[in-house]
């Protein structure tokens, strides 16, 4: 019996231990998240640099193709008219893409809705566990 009382803890002691262990777990999870996000940010940054360089080359290539299209059309119509036609087509395409993109952005929203929902579910679960 004396050994049993030595090993048994009061409810307050158990809750205190649970609180300490929970806070330790949370700190460790935060440290892990920080380390993971740092690694992901570095990897993302490197990849983004390659995307930017590729985008620059693609833009120059696109300009060359536009010039070629203007020169080809200039074989059929006046030079100024060829440039005006190609420019007008490109402006129309840009306008359509911009309208679609703005509409999609307006409908999407900024809040991380799925994360907010799972946090609400976690809070509800914790409340049920406490009662």
pLDDT digits (tens, 9 = 90+) for 35-47: 888 988 999 999 9
What pLDDT shows up at residue 7?
62
pTM over 0.85: no
Share of the chain above pLDDT 90, in %: 46
What pLDDT shows up at residue 79?
96
Q: Mean pLDDT, the chain, as a whole number? A: 86
Residues of the chain with pLDDT below 50 are: 1-4
Residue 69 and residue 86 in contact, taking contact as beta carbons nearer than 8 Å: yes
């Amino acid at each position: 019996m004396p050994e049993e009382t030595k090993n048994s803890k009061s409810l307050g002691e158990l809750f205190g231990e649970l609180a300490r262990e929970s806070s330790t777990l949370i700190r460790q999870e935060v440290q892990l998240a920080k380390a993971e996000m740092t690694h992901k940010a570095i990897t993302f940054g490197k990849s983004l640099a390659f995307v930017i360089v590729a985008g620059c080359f693609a833009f120059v290539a696109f300009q060359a193709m536009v010039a070629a299209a203007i020169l080809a059309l200039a074989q059929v119509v006046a030079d100024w008219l060829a440039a005006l036609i190609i420019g007008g087509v490109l402006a129309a395409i840009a306008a359509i893409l911009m309208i679609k993109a703005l509409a999609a952005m307006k409908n999407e929203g900024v809040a991380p809705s799925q994360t907010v929902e799972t946090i609400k579910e976690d809070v509800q679960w914790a409340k049920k566990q406490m009662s």
